Amino acid sequence: MSSNGSRRRDITVADVAKAANVSKAQAARALGNYGAVSEDVRERVLAAAEELSYRPNELARSMNTGKSNTIGVVVGDIENPHFGLATRGITDTAKKSGFNVILINTDEERTAEVDAVQVLLDKRVDGLIVAPASSSDTEHLQRVQDSGRPLVLLDRTADGLQIDTVTVEMTGVAYESTRYLIEAGHRRIAFISTLKSAVPYSEGVQLDSSQIAERVNGMRRAFLESGLTLPEDLVRFNAGDAESIRNITREVLLMPDPATAVVASDGLIALSVVEAIQELNLSIPEDVSFLMYDDFAWTRLTNPPLTVIAQPVYEMGVAAAEALVRQIEGRKPAAVTPMFTARLIRRNSVGVPRKSGAPSEPTPIR
Amino acid sequence: MSSNGSRRRDITVADVAKAANVSKAQAARALGNYGAVSEDVRERVLAAAEELSYRPNELARSMNTGKSNTIGVVVGDIENPHFGLATRGITDTAKKSGFNVILINTDEERTAEVDAVQVLLDKRVDGLIVAPASSSDTEHLQRVQDSGRPLVLLDRTADGLQIDTVTVEMTGVAYESTRYLIEAGHRRIAFISTLKSAVPYSEGVQLDSSQIAERVNGMRRAFLESGLTLPEDLVRFNAGDAESIRNITREVLLMPDPATAVVASDGLIALSVVEAIQELNLSIPEDVSFLMYDDFAWTRLTNPPLTVIAQPVYEMGVAAAEALVRQIEGRKPAAVTPMFTARLIRRNSVGVPRKSGAPSEPTPIR
DNA sequence: CCTACGATTGAGACCGGACTCACAGTGGGT
DNA sequence: ACCCACTGTGAGTCCGGTCTCAATCGTAGG
């Protein structure tokens, strides 16, 4: 015995047609604004529709147009401002082209991602944008391609698949920023990332994320070209929750030959790393230099302001959505998806390492 | 001449039925797992479905079950971590109950919100969660109610409407935190909020957001009970983009009888306020005390760590989704939606004001 | 051996639009 | 006056599922 009784049936074209004294077909034409309709009929139908406050059922409409005007977006974690911003770019752009967005979070879980893609496909979205958790585990993406539905990848590539992908070229900045650290005197540079990996890093292990792979490669090259070698023991994975990040940070900072600089591979990691550094009563950049990926507003507010690698996240969201819409509308995808570049923004969290005999008053270098 | 030729038609139950040599009805039953189906038929159908990699069309299914297993969420700005977290709570909970989420951003624009609600209704979502931009402008929400579709409000109430609403009781903490500031010696306390308002604040003006109204009321009461009056000239609205926030901050800090403490009504505002304060070469809390709504991780990283009012945002998202699901499943809404409370977290951004003859070494008070 | 009842099964209606097709009116061209 | 091109219009099909209903089958009870 619910309060408002049975759920009232929605008004349909048939209802409107009856009220306007015309056939269903005519009503549909007047409402859908297609075909030939006399002025008289059009007016009566529109009036009746208004009167009954008729609203078309988009589900029904989608069913026989085959278009749902909806795109699916699969990301690892909207809570992460990185994705928040990208999502903003996607939704803004999608809206402009008349598309709505179904958003699914995967927590960077493979199975959740596979499910998400399937659900979206089942819902017959017009296309999907996926930030894949893994670059190698890609059957589900392959399936999307097979289904013929437009797909654009964001942030990370998928090995061996021919898919429009919007990414940042990372090797370059990784190289540049590592050179920067090396020139400041750092040799023991730690890199902390969320990437899940069963084995510790060493040359040749296949990394499951194109993004991370590029960053590490850039670092490696910088060391190489300086006649040095990348300290592989400081390249760390599995930095999941705050606790594990804290542990990793303590580890690299307290080991016998500790890191003198730490690079956090995203904004969320950075938060916990900085906290851990503060807990150890170390100060930046006097005791440890710090550098992070993602330029969030708060990085300018800390003391010192943090040196970051800025990525055009919003623009990438926009580009991904544009590429997808282009595919949906049947235009060929841009021959080559534009490659974005990241930028090193030198603020004051990088200094001269203690060990290397720096002056007692370590000036942040620029 | 597209690369993959015509878009292939999807496999339907009819196809599966044919392949399995049974009627469409039987195939549908076997696949949908309802009605009576012999073991033999079930196996053949399932095998055929597997073989053809059949996937049900959720659109069609929704159409005659009347359920889309989708809920719509309308927020002002996902980019704002406040909503990011809340959205996380919503999607996590929705997923648990088998619902997907269509997310629409409104930029806190009234018309965008009205459109969003309409679109969602047209798409026949099973229910909506809306964080309304305005507490007074509510015809569109009324329309949702009229349509009989479940609706839950988040963060802000809608005047005069009987709708499940998940909010934080703000008067209390607003009062508490203002007392805290007053006791520290502050009399000139500024409050900066995004709320759009054509007229400057003064007692009795109707505020368009229940949230902001409560906060200001709490402040007013705190002043009153201390035998003082709320400095109305320091209650500021229209803090939209970074630029306007900066201007407002400078204004309240540089006026003849300047504010000695600033309260930012959300995390985004806080960012710009703190920046503006730094630009003025004022330090917190020696020159200005600072307090903000929303406890983001970075607030612990600044120097000093910021005193904040923490809201259980994620939990509120969860509660909103739970309430909505409850309504959708026909169970009566919880008699009274649980009221959440916010908490003042005293860190070190509040101190004794300069003017009041504080000692030259102003200790942050606790 | 016959009948009744539950388990199976297939035909077809239906959800709410979009769209095809055949048919009625109209008016211009010759 | 005659033919034809068009605009208007309604009947009905289709999209891809769910679901009703009547028919069929098997077999247990009498």
pLDDT score of B336: 59
Asked, for residue B92, whether it belongs to a domain, the answer is: yes
Distance (Å) from the C-alpha of residue A101 to the closest C-alpha of chain B? 6
Sheet holding B164-166, edge to edge: A164-166, A151-154, A127-130, A70-75, A100-105, B100-105, B70-75, B127-130, B151-154, B164-166
CA B239 to chain CA centroid, Å, is 18
List CB contacts (< 8 A) between A65 and chain B. Answer: none
Asked, for residue B292, whether it belongs to a domain, the answer is: yes
From B62, B121, B300, residue closest to A55, measured CB to CB: B121
For residues A206 and A126, membership in a common domain is answered with: no
Residue A290 · residue A309 · CB < 8 Å: no
List CB contacts (< 8 A) between B70 and chain A. Answer: 102, 123
With 0-12 / 13-18 / 19 or more C-beta atoms within 10 angstroms meaning exposed / middle / buried, residue A258 is: middle
Three-state DSSP state, A238: coil
Determine which of A2-16, B163-177, B330-344 has the lowest per-residue pLDDT on average.
A2-16
Is the pLDDT confidence value at A357 over 80?
no
For residue B33, name the pLDDT band (cuts at 50, 70, 90): confident
Residue B235 · residue B191 · CB < 8 Å: yes
For residues A147 and A94, membership in a common domain is answered with: yes
Asked, for residue B293, whether it belongs to a domain, the answer is: yes
For residues A156 and A33, membership in a common domain is answered with: no
For residues B302 and B230, membership in a common domain is answered with: yes
- A99-120 per-position pLDDT tens digit: 999 999 998 899 999 999 999 9
For residues A176 and A213, membership in a common domain is answered with: yes
From A57, A77, A88, residue closest to B78, measured CB to CB: A88
Distance (Å) from the C-alpha of residue B310 to the closest C-alpha of chain A? 17
pLDDT score of A3: 37
Distance A35 CA to D8 C1' (A): 10
Cβ-defined contact of B85 to A79 (cutoff 8 Å): yes
CA A177, CA A345: separation in Å to the nearest integer?
A: 9
Distance A36 CA to C24 C1' (A): 15
CA A246, CA A25: separation in Å to the nearest integer?
A: 66
Three-state DSSP state, B71: strand
Asked, for residue A354, whether it belongs to a domain, the answer is: no
Cβ-defined contact of A301 to B123 (cutoff 8 Å): no
For residues A293 and A277, membership in a common domain is answered with: yes
- Chain A residue with CA closest to B332: the answer is A2
Cβ-defined contact of A63 to B59 (cutoff 8 Å): yes
Neighbours of B228 (CB within 10 A): 11
Asked, for residue B360, whether it belongs to a domain, the answer is: no
Is the pLDDT confidence value at A81 over 80?
yes
Phi then psi dihedrals of residue B298, to 5 deg: -65, -15
For residues A173 and A281, membership in a common domain is answered with: yes
Distance (Å) from the C-alpha of residue A305 to the closest C-alpha of chain B? 9
Asked, for residue A361, whether it belongs to a domain, the answer is: no
Share of chain A above pLDDT 90, in %: 81
Could you say which of A306, A327, A359 is where a domain stops? A306
Is the pLDDT confidence value at B226 over 50?
yes
| The amino acid at B11 | I
B85 touches chain A (CB under 8 A): yes
| The amino acid at B198 | A
The residue among B10, B57, B59, B292 with the most chain A CBs within 10 A of its CB, best to mutate, is B59
Range of the domain at A18: 13-56
Residue B149 · residue B125 · CB < 8 Å: yes
- As given in the structure block, the two tokens for residue A252 are 């690299």
- As given in the structure block, the two tokens for residue B29 are 């039953």
| Short-list A160, A161, A101, CA closest to A129 | A101
The residue among B1, B101, B103 with the most chain A CBs within 10 A of its CB, best to mutate, is B103
Is the pLDDT confidence value at B181 over 70?
yes
- How many domains, chain A? 3
Asked, for residue B127, whether it belongs to a domain, the answer is: yes
CA A276, CA A245: separation in Å to the nearest integer?
A: 8
Phi then psi dihedrals of residue B350, to 5 deg: -115, 125
Residues 6+ apart with CB under 8 A from B313: B82, B85, B86, B89, B294
Distance (Å) from the C-alpha of residue B220 to the closest C-alpha of chain A? 31
**Cβ of A60 < 7 Å from strand C?**
yes
Residue A83 · residue A107 · CB < 8 Å: no
Cβ-defined contact of A59 to B79 (cutoff 8 Å): no
For residues B217 and B324, membership in a common domain is answered with: no
List CB contacts (< 8 A) between A8 and chain B. Answer: 148
For residues A146 and A178, membership in a common domain is answered with: no
Residues 6+ apart with CB under 8 A from A125: A68, A70, A71, A72, A102, A149
For residues B152 and B175, membership in a common domain is answered with: no
Cβ-defined contact of B302 to A303 (cutoff 8 Å): yes
- Residue A297's region, left for phi above 0, alpha for psi from -120 to 50, else beta, is alpha
Phi then psi dihedrals of residue A253, to 5 deg: -90, -20
B60 touches chain A (CB under 8 A): yes
- B260-294 per-position pLDDT tens digit: 999 999 999 999 999 999 999 999 999 999 999 99
pLDDT score of B341: 95
β-strand partners of A308: A292, A345
B332 touches chain A (CB under 8 A): yes
| The amino acid at A261 | A
From B91, B118, B301, residue closest to A274, measured CB to CB: B301
CA A122, CA B56: separation in Å to the nearest integer?
A: 6
Phi then psi dihedrals of residue B125, to 5 deg: -65, 160
List CB contacts (< 8 A) between A58 and chain B. Answer: 122-124
pLDDT score of A333: 65
For residue A334, name the pLDDT band (cuts at 50, 70, 90): low
B300 touches chain A (CB under 8 A): yes
Q: Parallel, antiparallel, or unpaired: how do β-strands B289-293 and B307-310 relate?
A: parallel
Neighbours of B81 (CB within 10 A): 24
CA B11, CA B135: separation in Å to the nearest integer?
A: 48
Distance (Å) from the C-alpha of residue B118 to the closest C-alpha of chain A? 9
For residues B145 and B36, membership in a common domain is answered with: no
CA B210, CA A311: separation in Å to the nearest integer?
A: 37
Nearest nucleotide to A33, CA against C1' atoms: C18
Residues 217-276 of chain B with CB under 8 A from chain A are: 271, 274-275
CA A290, CA A306: separation in Å to the nearest integer?
A: 7
A58 touches chain B (CB under 8 A): yes
CATH code of the domain in which A224 resides = 3.40.50.2300
Residues 103-162/A with CB within 7 Å of nucleic chain C are none
Distance (Å) from the C-alpha of residue A226 to the closest C-alpha of chain B? 34
Is the pLDDT confidence value at A335 over 60?
no
- B96-113 per-position pLDDT tens digit: 999 999 999 998 899 999
For residues A119 and A221, membership in a common domain is answered with: no
- Chain B residue with CA closest to A278: the answer is B301
Asked, for residue A131, whether it belongs to a domain, the answer is: yes
Rounded (10°) CA dihedral B2, B4, B5, B7: -110
- As given in the structure block, the two tokens for residue A262 are 């730490």
CA B107, CA A101: separation in Å to the nearest integer?
A: 15
- A186-210 per-position pLDDT tens digit: 999 999 999 999 999 998 899 999 9
| Short-list B298, B84, B302, CA closest to A270 | B298
CA B317, CA A86: separation in Å to the nearest integer?
A: 21
For residue A359, name the pLDDT band (cuts at 50, 70, 90): very low
